[in-house]
Amino acid sequence: MTKLFLLILTSLVFIMSSNLTAQNPFFEEWKTPFGIAPFDQIKEEHYMPAIKKGMEDQLHAIDKITANNEAPTFKNTIESLEKSGQLLTTVSYVFGNLNSANTNDKMQEINKKISPLLSKHNDDINLNPALFARVKALYEKRGDLNLTGEQNQLLEDYYKGFVRGGANLDDEAKDKFRKINEELSVLSVQFGENVLKEDNAFEMVLDNEKDLSGLPESVRIAAAEAAKERGYEGKWLFTPHKPSWIPFLTYSDRRDLRSKLYAGYTNRGDNNNENDNKAILNKIVNLRIRKAHLLGYKTHADFVLEETMAKTPENVYNLLNKVWGPALNVAKKERAMMQEMIDKEGGNYKLAASDWWYYAEKIRKEKYDLNEDEIRPYLKIDNVIEGSFILANKLFRLSFEERTDIPKYHPDVKTYVVKGANGTIIGVYLSDWFYRSSKRGGAWMNSFRKQSAMDGKKVLPIIYNVGNFTKPTADTPSLLSLDEANTLFHEFGHALHGLLSDCTYPSISGTSVPRDFVEFPSQVLENWVLEPEMLKLYAKHYKTGEVMPNELIEKIKKAGKFNQGFETVEYLAAAFLDMAWHTLDKEEDRDVNKFEKKVFDELGLIPEIVSRYRSTYFRHITGGYSAGYYSYIWSEILDADTFAAFKEKGIFDKETANAYRKYILSKGGTEEAMKMFENFRGHKPAIEPLLERRGLN
């Protein structure tokens, strides 16, 4: 082979490589409004090369940090570390968000390949002895570095992150640690995929109109549209997705069909088929025990809770037990009311878990002259969204201007520019509220880009909200239930936490706070949904435009504490289940269903209530909320106490809102969580407002 031929071949390879690079949007500067991802240009084949290059770039940046002969400083070590991996972060946000909100088979296959690569990459950083030595040297003399409060917090977070990431382990233990992390990354992906497959696999197709007895017209229309979408023209389809199964269980007169659909929901991942999650969960739990022991912790819960407000499993159990007893007593009273109604109607059967929604709705109508279908016409999704914007304006003088020139990843997405009081743009907001089969269940908030201001360069946050509400049909708009309206405001609360962040470093900006604090700002916003002053501003009948009448508002208010025993117990049961799995300290091959039953039997959970999540579809605990599902009730203590501050001066009080923004929303994770709360409220959080709100005192 001649030198000339080799030169030509090398040139061709270089040209082809350059063309491939140029064709990948992740390797180009985005000329889009606000630098948002050009979703229409990004293809599945672009992710893996971009992820790999992002990892290479970050490791190269870290090599430069460790090769620096100068003594470590905050700037040449911590800030340099904070700036590393920008490409990887960008790609990971786009891929992760789309894989949750608009996935397909190709995306899921890529995720299986990416997860172990990212696990190894993170371990390569955390287990880099030269890098840890520089961070440790700074941490040990942090009192002499003249750092700002935010810089001190960032340094502490990095140091703890390295230690918790295995930096102090010996070489043999580090190898074990790597293997555990790699296996966990694969298993958690597989668990989530199985739940999504189960969500989409179960179908209850009805072809006789008599089977629809009791269902409101809006529910029938939505079911017909769902059936048509899946090729069941002229029939009605119901699935384990919340906008489908909850209305059916609430209104259907067919007890046998309620039972069938509920079983389809509660048995997900527990059908002994290719999507079964029992063995996977066992492996995840055992690997977490092994990892905790390697790091010197008794249990996975001890490891996780060290970095939360709760600190220890004992503190979590102390809180859960305080609420469990009163909640269970109320739930038993609710059960008795329902059984009494069944007996009065000549039902001749015992209340079952699949009956609860149906009889709760009947009692609500009988006792409070209120039914969900009476409320829905006033909760058109457009009005509820507008209501969340009105609230943000009244509290923080924000405005949301819809734009059609900002790229979006799906036609259902709406895009907004968010402006402050003086018209300054503070961020970009995307909302994606409607159900589709390509979206995982539930509702959430995340970022495509976090707020930061390193080197004086302000980076605007790009925040998105996702839900799974019923789509509008040709004849009917999307009408939300009260629970769904709460969900929308909840997720919007997370969004405001991201949008109103005012921090320097992205690692600790926005929602980068302890897990039992992150739900606090989201739950605070739920408080306004049913306030009469607020309802007058957004709850308008979708046909007439009439504002929700005072009589209906009064009925909603009177029924506000109804069914709180059930709602609290089904949630707490899941929180106890999470803790039970993660306070185990021995690796065993456990029978998942027997373990679950033992947990609930010991709690005294009544059979008429099923835990909000069973083990085999409890994605919170195989994802980011392991030993952390208690966070919602912990955060609710904070949010109930916080809303009490607003109630004292008026629910739109500017002074209280400004203080809440200053001490909570703008701070990200730059201060210790309890200190932030105390700075705002002036005292430690009290549990009494929560018990009062739920009617459990």
Strands (E), 93-186: none
Strands (E), 462-567: 462-469
- β-partners of residue 434 are 469
Q: Contacts by 73-81 with C-beta closer than 8 Å and gap 24+?
A: 73/138, 74/138, 74/145, 74/147, 74/151, 74/155, 77/134, 77/135, 77/138, 78/135, 78/138, 78/151, 78/154, 78/155, 78/158, 79/454, 81/131, 81/135, 81/158
CA 308, CA 638: separation in Å to the nearest integer?
Answer: 14
Asked if 493 and 468 touch (Cβ cutoff 8 Å), the reply is no
Query: Residue 390 CA to chain centroid, in angstroms?
Result: 24
Active site residues: 491
CA 193, CA 185: separation in Å to the nearest integer?
Answer: 13
CA 677, CA 382: separation in Å to the nearest integer?
Answer: 33
Sign of CA dihedral 339, 342, 345, 347: negative
CA 27, CA 53: separation in Å to the nearest integer?
Answer: 9
Which of 497, 438, 437 lies closest to 465, judged by CA? 497
Q: What is the largest CA-CA distance in the chain?
A: 97
Asked if 664 and 680 touch (Cβ cutoff 8 Å), the reply is yes
Asked if 581 and 605 touch (Cβ cutoff 8 Å), the reply is no
Q: Tell me the two tokens of residue 213.
A: 């007895």
- Measured CA to CA in angstroms, residue 500 lies from 67, 83, 238, 489, 666 at distances of 38, 22, 39, 16, 5
CB neighbourhood size of 545 (10 A): 8
Rounded to the nearest 10 degrees, the angle between the axes of helix 631-649 and helix 515-526 is 40
Q: Tell me the two tokens of residue 542.
A: 């979708």
Write the single-letter amino acid at 533. Answer: E
Q: Tell me the two tokens of residue 688.
A: 């009494």
CA 579, CA 599: separation in Å to the nearest integer?
Answer: 10
